[in-house]
């Protein structure tokens, strides 16, 4: 999942990260890939930068 998110953000796509039924976050950019941690990324949202623990993400898809 990490590579999918990284590649799509680098290609200019927005990614919706779904954590559960009530909580989603839209990633508009990549701040840091955190190569030393296979389960984390730092993403840019409209409001702030966020560290995302990918083990808590149920699924991710490209926002149309």
Going from the N-terminus, what domains does the chain have, and what CATH number goes with each? 2-62 (2.30.30)
Q: What is the pTM of this model?
A: 0.91
Residue keyed to tokens 């190569």: 35
Alpha-carbon torsion (10, 13, 18, 24), positive or negative: positive
**pLDDT tens, position by position, 54-63:** 999 999 999 9
Mean pLDDT computed over 28-36: 97
How far is residue 44's CA from residue 4's CA, in Å, rounded to a whole number?
A: 16
Residue 62: closest CA among 26, 20, 30: 26
Give the model's pLDDT for residue 63: 92
Is the pLDDT confidence value at 30 over 90? yes
**Reported confidence tier of residue 18, pLDDT bands at 50, 70, 90:** very high
Is the pLDDT confidence value at 17 over 90? yes
Give the model's pLDDT for residue 64: 78
Residue keyed to tokens 């941690």: 37
């Amino acid at each position: 999942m990490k590579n999918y998110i990284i590649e799509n953000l680098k290609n200019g796509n927005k990614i919706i990260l779904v954590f559960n039924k009530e909580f989603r976050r839209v990633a508009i950019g990549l701040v840091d890939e955190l190569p030393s941690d296979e389960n984390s990324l730092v993403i840019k949202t409209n409001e702030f930068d966020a560290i995302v623990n990918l083990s808590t993400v149920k699924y991710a898809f490209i926002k149309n």
